[in-house]
Structure 1
Amino acid sequence: MVEGGLYIFSNFYTKEAMGTLRPKSSEYIINFSNSTTVQKIDQDDFMIPNHKFEFVDLSELFALVSGYENVKKPKLSIDIIGVLEDFENVKTIETKFGNRQITKFRITDGRYSNKVSVWGDLAATTDEMYAKIKDRPIITIVTSTKLQIWESSVQISTLPSSKIYLNLENDFVKEMRNRIEEEGYKSTPENIIPSLVETSCTPIIIQTITLKELIEKNTAADLKKTFLCRVKVSSVEEEQNWWYLGCTKCYGEAIKPEGKYKCSNCAHVMPVPEKKSNLLSCNLRFKLVVLVGDDTEALNFIFLDKCVKRIVGQTATKMIVDHPKVDTQTGYPKKLKDIAGMELTLSILINDDNVSLKSQIFEAVDVCYKISELSSPSGAKHPASSVSTFT
């Protein structure tokens, strides 16, 4: 088998995953037996993504490492994404394992920063890739990393299973690039929280508030701020469309005012096939209207694409394929209906309407889980807790 190839596996068996520093949070692994057959398929399948990651935000790393039961051998290895800065060219150093190649750099999301050490052949490969990359900033994905605390900061190291991608062409990289451009990211030390770089790695905690307190977050000082709310979903509004055609440039919603699909945010015009059977090749994204509540208030939330993908564990395109009513944006699939009744901790972004119009309809941009909830079915509180993480 060749990495990146498409195959059909038959007559295999599964068992519980064992060991530490696992690259995925699944509790089960696939095993081949003497009767297993592997058939290569030459045609492409756009429904299967070329890459799958389970990212952890840089802001969560310190709390994650602090909670390890076995610091030297944690259960999971970690995928991270951020901007590459302060790259050091590859060099050879003497270690207790003999001479090894190493390269180092800093990875940041504009607020948090961590040092990364890349070892072995991957160090030389990364050095070659970096020399060829011209576009800046360089959005970097590092998979299967090992974390440890050293001098009050989280240090990131690669493992034999690690991979590094620079400016990978996918939605995760595009989304981060758009975000840092909107926020005016600059490659300067002033952007980085000093306590995380020099002395302490205690992260800034995003405030958890009630829905009643959320209503009051409507001043100019609150704009673009993020808050956490613990809520229970009362109902999903099935009269509203559950997906939309997303702009390929900025991820705004595409509309068709004059016979052409144009982004309502950046006015980018997109060539979209008219036949609905070809719609699946487009950039479809989730958008749900739900009623949520806590002990203090009940409000309408809009669950955006990343939030819904975390909950249901698949893309809008894949859900349309699984759903018999491909030609309609209504007729809700069962997985979306099942969100009603879930208890979730949501990341809420205060937008322009919340401030200028005092709108009480809030956007849930993400749903938060602990890594232990993702990797341990016994700790799950609802069906969403055991799904894979998207970013």
Structure 2
Amino acid sequence: MDMIREGHVYDIRKFFVFPKKYVFRPVDGKVMIKFTRYTSVVERNGLDALFPFCTYELTPFGQLPKPSDMPERFSDVLGVITGVSDAVQYHSASRSEPSTKRIIHIKDLSGNQLSVILWGETAAGFDGDGIMELGKTEPIIAIFVGTLVKSYDGRRGVSGSAACRWYINENLPDIVNFRRGLRGQVPVIEHIHLPGQTTAEIQAQVNLETKTLEELVTIDIFEFRDARFYCTATLAKLSPGQRWWFSSCTTCHKTALLSGPGYKCSDPECLGTDALPRYKICFVVTDGETEAEFVFFDRVGRELLGLPLITLLRHGHAPGATLAQVLEAARGDDSVPKEITSWLLLYLKLFGFVHYVIVFSTPPSIIKPPPVGALPTVIESNVRRNSFPPPVTLV
């Protein structure tokens, strides 16, 4: 890999020729070459114009293959960019190390949308800010090559990592023809918000003041209303007697109460009359000295569970039930879905790290540690050994 660079021309000698791979083929050729320790590589300058700038084989959105763990080949797609997220770092329950992720939405000329999910260094290397700025004045047409078809939120999308490349507004025939098909339209590029931490947020944590739980729960919230602090604690259990969701005002996101056929926001200064269900998962955490209650609201709740809240609310209901019917039934049900309790038990069993950025509008409430016998069995055994699972970092 140190001997060759993409986009350069070389004389390559003394290599083996093999039949094509049966899976993960980047191009649909019949044969492939394999380097050996005897292979020689000599760069040839001035010949770039004799070779194609890039190679690809576009697949229309509607003809993308089904997701597969062992696909025959990578897929190449073309579309105009209509949405870009920041590159965010988040922790998955299936990985011990954090992952970097970025989502890009593209559309074809028929208006069909496709999600392109970039990972790792590929996600970090995509110039999202530059694309957002350039998209204010002209359409951003991109070809993504070397992607794998995946399923996201029940829809087909493509995933790109080390093998993925992109060509944006290049003078390629397919991009030129696509631009003509837009007939002068400049689609607005949406800023997609993803759960997780951006690079700027991660860097900002470095200089945060560290607080213990006891210091946090006694802080004057009127004096430090917009302050952010760094605190390390361990998830202990779900808060008893607390609901895991609430009706959130669509205007200001505060709690909304039923009022006749609609809703009334709990904030007297807000005129919102509509609401949507959002996560509100209450946890007890400990730092070994003090316990406190923290609330994980909608974005963090979705990141924890990987499920939209409405999916959990609909469990046990007829498929044709309306949202109003589901919410009416859920208001009378104080049970916590097994997906939430199972996640907590899995975390404690695996002793995995989870990191979140939390913004507090009020301080967490202090709680007296319960007797050992009152704790769940998995917690009780840890307390008796005087050892806790790895801490959750709360900011």
TM range (shorter): 0.3 to 0.5
Q: TM-score, normalised by structure 2?
A: 0.42
Q: TM-score, normalised by structure 1?
A: 0.42
